[in-house]
Amino acid sequence: MEYVKFGNTGTDVSRICLGAMGFGDTEKWTHKWVLDEERSRPVIKKALDLGINFFDTANIYSMGESEKILGRALKDYAKRDDIVLATKVHQTMRSGRPNSGGLSRKEIMSEIDQSLKRLETDYVDLYIIHRWDYDTPIEETMEALHDVVKSGKSRYIGASAMYAWQFQKAQRVAERNGWTKFVSMQNHYNMIYREEEREMIPFCRDEKIAITPYSPLASGRLTRDWSETTLRSETDMVQHSKYDSMMKADQGIVERLAEVANNHGVTRDKIALAWLLNKDQVVAPIIGAQKESHLESAVAALNIQLTPDEMNYLEELYIPHPVVGALPKPKFNK
């Protein structure tokens, strides 16, 4: 395993992060392909055995069940100080009730305590805002996150899936007030979705902010022929909403990916991850592994070196895509 500094911090993280969205309860989550606790634990244990020390979850994943499963497994299999643990806040946890969801001070202070309880830990290493909140002043959000850090409940803060201007605004608000700034951006970034290269990634590079891409394999679409199906590809409506509209344009990229993988004698996922790992500021892609073999394959990608010609060959067919991930400002009927 390789370890690198987490952006402009002194913390070391593995170059592969295990994402825990796929661990949970199908009765509490819209995704019907998630693994229950019994099937999740061997995957988490395998990650640790491979040297992965970076784990990512969120309060919303299976309505808290992901945090519970991950927390219990890490408590059983690892020492807390050896782990870099991240969770997130934003989505509604109590549907239909006021003060549920968003990034108000009330919500952040409540949800960090609930997450810590489910994770069975006194602190997280990284507390991430899952999306932008148009209904809460960013000053309120950033001061609350600063207080979470100063209280010892999180070591750092990060953000996920927003427009670059929003991320920049949050950083400047924190800077002007002497509050804790974000050290990471968990954004939607892979070989068939590269809109982040326009503004977000250059900003993160300039500010030395760690990038931890989610959906690095495009929900599996970079791992196989599109004629092949899995339970996830058949039932994951989020996957369809992210990628179906550009399938025709992306087909050539996927075919080139298969060609390069064949030339290297490896599976496609390794080339897709090697491509990401070759990008500036990408610290650790978030791998949503559901089998031990998925993790073994991901770690093997660290040993693959792509030439500049191969990188260009994989990239040159890309065309602009609709933005997927950042939330647009809600439109209300007047």
Render pLDDT for 214-257 as a digit per residue (tens, 0 to 9).
999 998 889 887 666 665 555 555 655 676 667 787 899 999 99
Q: Where are the alpha helices (DSSP H) in 16-56?
A: 37-49
Domains delineated in the chain: 3-315 (3.20.20.100)
Contact 173, 161 (CB under 8 A): no
Burial (CB < 10 A; 0-12, 13-18, 19+), residue 149, is: middle
Is 127 one of the catalytic residues?
no
Please determine, for residue 333, whether its predicted confidence score (pLDDT) is greater than 50: no
Contact 18, 287 (CB under 8 A): yes
Judged by DSSP in three states, 123 sits in coil
Single out the catalytic residue among 61, 156, 193, 214: 61
Backbone angles phi, psi at 225, to 5 degrees: -65, 145
Residue 226: what pLDDT?
Answer: 67
Pairing verdict, β 3-5 and 124-129: unpaired
Between 326 and 213, the higher pLDDT residue: 213
CA angle centred on 325, ends 324 and 331, rounded to 5°: 85
Query: pLDDT (tens digit, 9 = 90+) per residue, 111-142?
Result: 999 999 999 999 999 999 999 999 999 999 99
Residue recorded with tokens 């390794």: 270
Contact 317, 252 (CB under 8 A): yes
Please determine, for residue 109, whether its predicted confidence score (pLDDT) is greater than 70: yes
Q: What is the C-alpha to C-alpha distance for residues 237 and 172, in angstroms, rounded to an integer?
A: 36
Q: What is the C-alpha to C-alpha distance for residues 161 and 328, in angstroms, rounded to an integer?
A: 11
Residue 8 neighbours by CB distance under 10 Å: 12
Q: Where are the alpha helices (DSSP H) in 64-199?
A: 65-77, 105-119, 138-150, 164-177
* C-alpha separations of 106 from 113, 127, 129, 266, 278 in Å: 11, 16, 14, 49, 40
For the entire predicted model, the pTM comes to: 0.93
Q: What is the C-alpha to C-alpha distance for residues 6 and 73, in angstroms, rounded to an integer?
A: 24
Residue 324: what pLDDT?
Answer: 87
Q: What is the C-alpha to C-alpha distance for residues 310 and 320, in angstroms, rounded to an integer?
A: 21
pLDDT band at 330 (very low <50, low <70, confident <90, very high): confident
Q: What is the C-alpha to C-alpha distance for residues 195 and 300, in angstroms, rounded to an integer?
A: 27
DSSP structure string for 274-328: HHHHTSTTB---EE---SHHHHHHHHHGGG----HHHHHHHHTT-------SSPP
Q: What is the C-alpha to C-alpha distance for residues 110 and 204, in angstroms, rounded to an integer?
A: 29
pLDDT band at 334 (very low <50, low <70, confident <90, very high): very low
Q: What is the C-alpha to C-alpha distance for residues 236 and 24, in angstroms, rounded to an integer?
A: 15
Query: pLDDT (tens digit, 9 = 90+) per residue, 21-37?
Result: 999 988 877 778 899 99
pLDDT band at 153 (very low <50, low <70, confident <90, very high): very high
Query: pLDDT (tens digit, 9 = 90+) per residue, 293-316?
Result: 999 999 999 999 999 999 999 999
Between 97 and 225, the higher pLDDT residue: 97
Residue 204: what pLDDT?
Answer: 97
Please determine, for residue 104, whether its predicted confidence score (pLDDT) is greater than 90: yes
Residue 75 neighbours by CB distance under 10 Å: 14
Q: What is the C-alpha to C-alpha distance for residues 123 and 315, in angstroms, rounded to an integer?
A: 40
Please determine, for residue 148, whether its predicted confidence score (pLDDT) is greater than 70: yes
Q: What is the C-alpha to C-alpha distance for residues 245 and 235, in angstroms, rounded to an integer?
A: 17
Structure tokens at 39: 């099937």
Residue 161: what pLDDT?
Answer: 95
Amino acid at 49: D
CA atoms within 13 A on the CB side of 215: 20
